Structure formats: C-alpha cells, structure tokens
Amino acid sequence: MREGIQTEFSRNGYVILEDFFSEEEVAELREAGVKLTENLPEESKRVIFSTTKTQQFQNKNQYFLDSADKISVFFEEGALDENGKLLVEPGIALNKVGHALHWLNPTFKKYTFCEKVKETCFQLGLADPVIVQSMYIYKNPGLGGEVVPHQDSTYLHTEPQRLIGFWIALDDATIGCLWFAPGSHKGGVHRRMIRNPDPNDEELFIFTAQSPTYPTSNFTATPVKKGTCVLIHGEVVHKSAPNKSPNPRHAYTFHVVDLKNSTYSPENWLQLPSGQTFPGVYKN
Ligand code: FE2
C-alpha cells in the first residue's frame, strides 16, 4: 500500500497523484482553457509573461499587479511584435491566464473546490485551506519557454511556510514536464519577490536576493499522464524545460495556503482588493 501523501510530501517536497481527474474531467477543463484564448484583449493592452529576460517588463506592469481578482491573459514572448500584433495563431499565443480562474470561471471553480481537492487538503493535514491564486498554463509547442528553477514561496510567502501548489496536467507532459530537486524544501526560502515599499521607485516589485545557482544534477524529471495532479511544496525547488515537442502541454494550477496555521504576507505581490478574502476550500 502506498504511504500517506503527507509522509511522501514531507520527505520529497512533492507528490504525484495519477488519475486525479478522469478523461472527461480533463476534457472539460481543457476545453475551458482553450476558450480563454478566444476574445483576446486589444493590441495595445497585450502583456508578455516571461520568467527570463523580459521579467523587468512584466514586473513593472500594473496589469500583473492587478490580476489577483481577475481573469487576465499573458502572452508568450515571440507571440507579439512590438505593437502587440499577433505573430502566431491566437490559439497558441498565450503563456498563461490568471489569477482568479478558480473563483470567476464556473468550470475552474467547480474543479478547484471539488471533493477530490478537499480530500487531498484534508490528507495533507490542512485545517483552513484557502485558494490564493490559479493559472491556466499553455506551454505550447515551440513557444512554451523554460521556467527557471524557483521556489513558489518566493512569490507567495506565508509565515510560517504553508503554501502548496496543485498542478494538474491536461495533456501528457513528457518533454517540458516539471523537474524537482527532491528534498530541497528543507532549507528555507532562498529569496522573496515583494511589492516595492518605495512608491517613488519605478519598479513595482523587487527581489530580496539574487537567484541561487541550483546544480542541474539535483533535478529529477517527472513525466506524467494527463489527469495527474502534482502537489508542490512551497519551498521545493522546481523548474520546467521548454516544450520542444510538437504537442501542447496545457496545465491548470492553483495554490493553497492554510490560514489556520499561518499568515499570508502583506508584502506578497498578490493582494486582493480590500474587503475581499481568499475563498476557503472546505467552505465552497
Ligand atoms: Fe512553480
């Protein structure tokens, strides 16, 4: 019999749950994700997302800052020219959509708050899990770039650390899958990205330290079939390679924080407008 997911999660910093969603459930989620590529914003309002060279561009962008309670779209580098005109088909132009799909889109809401997610949170020992953000990630062939090694707690910090990512494969993820450094969640948060406290600085976000260099040999690939859910500890170091396969690699991901046992940092980039609260997994 498989050991409890909490034990495996504590040891490795991630857990792979195969067949988390059925073929029909995956198809419904994927269809909803494809639908998000229709009705793209007008050219002047298009924003590129990248974890590498144009990060400064993204960081300065108010659109990103304001996306906590919206369904906002972020384009791939290489999908737009300098005027925001599409260089590729609309269906493969997006990097991701976020960060409130779990609340504002009925399909993503249905699956984010489904019994399987509640049960998994319960098995992980979470007392008051809330959803803080959600993203649909396209990782299209050719365009879907690498995601550099990072810890999710760099972006979404809680005190003490109680962040867990749910990453659900909606296509088979082979080339361009997630890579983990097993056990790397035990060394604390290496750096944080916070809202810039200096209102006169043009950067809206700042990092508290340079990114460490993570040895390539520490990473293990986790190819998974569609319908698999990967649980990601907030401090486990992970990355994903560019999608050089001829196939898309869509995924739906959301992040959970246990508010009973931790505090969500007011310094995090992602903040709801005043008066709004993160929706509880057990209460919705
Ligand atoms: Fe991540």
Q: How far apart are the C-alpha atoms of 143 and 93, rounded to whole Å?
A: 8
Distance 58 CA to ligand 1 centre (A): 17
Distance 87 CA to ligand 1 centre (A): 27
pTM given for the model: 0.93
Distance 90 CA to ligand 1 centre (A): 25
Inform me whether the pLDDT recorded for 214 exceeds 60: yes
pLDDT of res. 53: 46
Distance 155 CA to ligand 1 centre (A): 9
pLDDT band for position 52 (cuts 50, 70, 90): low
Q: How far apart are the C-alpha atoms of 59 and 203, rounded to whole Å?
A: 7
- 77 near 99, Cβ under 8 Å? no
- 136 near 97, Cβ under 8 Å? yes
pLDDT of res. 107: 98
Distance 232 CA to ligand 1 centre (A): 8
Q: Give domain 2-264's CATH number out of 2.60.120.620, 3.40.50.300, 2.40.50.100, 2.60.40.1250.
A: 2.60.120.620
Distance 152 CA to ligand 1 centre (A): 5
Could you read off the pLDDT of 16-39 as tens digits, one per residue?
A: 999 999 999 999 999 999 999 998
Could you read off the pLDDT of 70-94 as tens digits, one per residue?
A: 999 988 888 888 888 899 988 899 9
Distance 80 CA to ligand 1 centre (A): 24
pLDDT of res. 78: 82
Distance 200 CA to ligand 1 centre (A): 30
Distance 154 CA to ligand 1 centre (A): 9
Distance 270 CA to ligand 1 centre (A): 15
Per the rule left: phi > 0, alpha: psi between -120 and 50, beta: everything else, 125 is left
Inform me whether the pLDDT recorded for 116 exceeds 70: yes
Could you read off the pLDDT of 149-200 as tens digits, one per residue?
A: 999 999 999 999 999 999 999 999 987 799 999 999 999 999 999 988 887 8
Return the beta strands (E) in 108-150 as ranges.
129-137, 147-150
* Residue in 250, 179, 189, 186 with CA at minimum distance from that of residue 218: 179
Mean pLDDT across 245-251: 90
Inform me whether the pLDDT recorded for 59 exceeds 60: no
Task: Give the per-residue SS3 of 221-271.
Answer: EEEECCCCEEEEECCCCEEECCCCCCCCCCEEEEEEEECCCCEECCCECCC
Distance 153 CA to ligand 1 centre (A): 9
Output the average pLDDT for the chain. 90
